[in-house]
Each structure stands twice: as C-alpha cells, then as structure tokens.
Homo-oligomer: A and B are copies of this chain.
Amino acid sequence: MLTRSEEDHIKAVYALLQEGESAFTKDIAERLRTKASSVTDMLKKLSGKSLLKHEPYYGAKLTAKGQAIALQLVRRHRLWETFLVERLGFGWDEVHEVAEQMEHVANEKLIDKLDEYLGHPHFDPHGDPIPDKQGKLRTRKTKRLNTCKPGESVRIAAVSETTDGLLRLLDAKGLRIGTTLSVQDVHAFDGSMDIKPQRGSAFSLSKDVIHHLQVENA
C-alpha cells in the first residue's frame, strides 16, 4: 500500500517521461510544488521499494512495477474526470483538481465498475487516452499544432489540462476535442498561427496555445 505522497511522486515521474522530458529531481519538485531535498528523500524510498531507478543527474526511470502503478493512477484520474464531465455536468476546466483527490481512493472494484458504468471510454474529456485494466493505452499518431504547416487540415485530439486558463480560452474561441480546422498561415515574428475552423471564420492563436494543442490528420 502506497501513501498519497508516494503515489504523487510516481505519477510525476511518469508524467515527465511521458512528455519526453527527463525526470530530474528539480522538475519533480517543481511539479509537486515541493523542494528538491524532499524529492531526493522520496526517490530513495521508492527506489527501496523497487518502483523506480534513480541515477543523479540522469533522472529517474520507473520499473515495470512503478509503471504499472502509474498507469493505474492515470486510469483512475481520467475515469473520474470522464465521470465528472459526462455524468455530473462539470466543465472540462474544473475537473483536474477534484480528480487529483479521487484518484487516490484505492479500490479495484470501484474503478472496474466505474469504467463499465461509463461504457469503457478510451479517452477522457481532454482527449487523453485512458489506460484499460491491464494498463494498455490506445495510441494515435498526433502531433502538436505548432508543427503543422499552412494548408494542413487537422482535428483537435487532445489538450493539456494542467495549463492554467487554456481550457477556458479554448471554450471562448469555440474550440474543443474533435473540432476540425485548417492552418492558414504561420507568423515567424511571434510564432502565432492563423487557423480556420471547419465552420466559422478564421482567427489567430498565439504560440503558447498552439504549442499545447495535440492534433491528428483530418
């Protein structure tokens, strides 16, 4: 049985690796709003439990056991988010904090029943894949919108839920998961991009926004 803090650290390592970054002590600390020395302690503890391997200055890697735990946590988090949005009527920008608490409720039957109740969803309200009971993720070939060229036509596949204010901005602009749009122009000066949704007129998105949108070919 893991403590809440242990689970949080495993999830932080998983999330960093998932984003293609290394899981350095200082990055884990920043993500968890704690201090590097605290993370050192915890990495030592989790190493002792064979949940991860840690080499200073090279970052932490999860063991198979640690990976499995991280995937269960992600599964719980995303299932609860789906429940909150689809059943309780929460906005997609309101659910992260709540799910952050609910994911620590440890009961296998609960999650299996919830999964079944929701119809075994493969993606959460932000477009992120939900691991199945075995920890398997459905993969898609997505890329970040900022890597697209003028003329490309793409569909919004997923959105970073942790970036404050992004979801409300997208709401305001009428952009959501599944929205199809074409890239019109890219401005080197500020990295902004002009896009045109399938229905509606064209407008511009800042570098910060297009960097956080995952899209797939339409």
Contacts and interface: CB of A to CB of B under 8 A. Distances in A.
A107 B113 contact: no
A102 interface: yes
A88 B102 CA distance: 16
A88 B101 contact: no
A218 interface: no
A110 B87 contact: no
Interface string A142-154: 0000000000000
Contact of A107 (B87, B98, B105, B110): B98
Interface in A40-93: 84, 87-90
Contacts of A113: 84, 88-90
A106 interface: yes
A114 B98 CA distance: 13
A143 to B, nearest CB: 35
Among A90, A106, A107, the most chain B Cβ lie within 10 Å of the Cβ of A107
B107 A101 contact: yes
A101 B97 contact: no
Nearest to A105: B101
Contacts of A117: 87-88
